[in-house]
Structure 1
Amino acid sequence: MEDVTTTGQAKPSRKWVRIAIYIFAAVGLLFSALIAVMAFRHQPESPHTIDANDAISELMTRNYGKYSESQRGWLYVDEENHATYLVTVIQQKKVDGKEGDELYLVASGRTIESRDGQDSFYGVFQLRYSGGQLYEYSDVRRSSGTDPVTPERVHFEALSGDVWGWVVKVSDNATGDGEESINTRNVVLAPHNEQIAVLGEFNAAFQVLGAGGCEETEHRYAEWKQAMNDKKSLKKEEGTAGEATAEVEDDGEDFEPPRCTRLQWTYRTDPVADATFTPLYITRKPGMQEGVQREAKTWKVMFDPKSYTYLLPDELKNQGM
């Protein structure tokens, strides 16, 4: 009988087994690395932070000049009239923005060396990140007349869910013809389109007085009025009323004294939660205008997104101007 030998299936070489294992391991590592890269790409960036002290020092030096240790402020020299101003930071606020910190700053400057008398200005600044870069938006010099802006005259307000701004009180003082007037107005400012925009100006306070207070001012006006009436009556009795009227009008010593005016306005805002701007609720307190009592009154002033301003009625603007 012939022997039949059965040959079994050949087993794969151990070398090829090892190669296959290595290939699968390499693919697994590459897949894990790909997952890690994708996860890293989709991981949100850490919010940017601002070192307030360093940022303010650089900003103020860049816009106003060298810092004076002895004066405790920055010395700004006007190129036109060569007046020297001492500029200080009167308010700083930090809020959370879309990419991290946002820094809001108000500076106030007053003359310390000038041939033209006292003068002052204020500046407003925003520092914020955009596309990972830090940007400055500012209005470095806004006039505040002879009365410098102080910290208590600056209110930092949330105007909408993502817009912060300032309400700054600015006063103008004037004297002449036996009277003194003080006109104070609120200026609403906020960042817009990579600059600082003026959203509106409205009355804050208006006062006109003669010598002394309001009662004294009204008393002197009443005396003057009585004297004018007596003089006219006397001339009429003498039969020269027409000439007397001309004398009264042309008499430089008989100028009409001021009446008392004391008016004050306050405002408030609504809480904000979205992109809608808060209205301004402006209230005139009870007061006196040219000797006549005025009752309290409140206006609701809406914001116009198209013009990016508050729609202020004329009676809330330019009082005393």
Structure 2
Amino acid sequence: MRSTLLRVGRWIAAEQPDAADPTDWTRQTCATWIAALDRMKVGDYVQRTAGLGDRLGKPLEAATKAGQITALRTFFKDCQEWEWLPRSFDPLRALAIPHSITALLGPDPRVIADEILAKLLWAGLNLEVADLPQAQAGHFYPFELVRAVTLTWLFSGQRSNEIARLRVGCIRWQHDGAPITGDSHQILARDSVCLLGVPPHKTGTAFSKPVDPILGQAIDAWQAVRPDQPKFTDRRTGEHVDLLFAIRARRVSTHYINNTVIPMLCRKAGVPAADVRGNITSHRTRSTIASQLYNAMEPMTLFELQAWLGHRSPQSTQYYAKITPNTLSKAYSEAG
């Protein structure tokens, strides 16, 4: 906010020096500044441009414009509330974000191409000890832990923060509504339901969701060899819990998937770590799995997908439930 206010100060001094004092601002001044901001480029009215690189001179993104408008609106709102400035205009209305900018805001899930995801799935399912990154002292994490983290990322559709905060005993097995064990010989894995207990997250409380049995078996394999660890404080709830992915009294970092797991899988699968939509990141599988479930032969409904993703609002799910061109073409043909 401080940088934004300095940028506004440089602009007003250059374009309208008579209104350089905040007490002289009016609704018209606010409208003039928003119009100027909409035409600004990266590097305009800043003090240093050394770190901007090839972005220098490019148009500002919608999120940047919205952030700068919000910063100035907060400044005038607080100054009027603290009676530092007279109430000559209403900041909430005069410095509202224009619809032309808000229309460009919102999550933009970057779905991974099917062929790339298929190779990553193959690499994860065929992961071997030799594929693990190795330091001078050997492997940093046990193979069972790495495989469990990898398959959780590939099959659960969860955020990296939620994966790092999974608790011991998060996997439950059921068959015909009755609990069973993951290594039961009486029930085939394809006939059983594997439920994953998701901890409280940024949009809701804890819940359970069905996942592929392969994921449940990988987590059970890690729990079978996991050494006893001290309890950790859940950073969201403040509870003392037994974190699933912890070793040597340290929790696995939320950045472990992006920094280690994804590069490892890309090397094994022979695919680049980035595509036309940007770097392959942990969150991209969440949108990809959601899109696949929404476009399957027997697709999930929007409300079922909302429950599976753990969204509080169906509007959030709509950002993830992207209709693929194949599904749209089929629906167009069947419409006659």
Bin of the TM-score, shorter chain as denominator length:
under 0.3
More helix as a share of residues: 2
Structure possessing the higher relative contact order (Cα contacts under 8 Å, 6 or more residues apart): 2
Give TM-score scaled by structure 2 length. 0.20
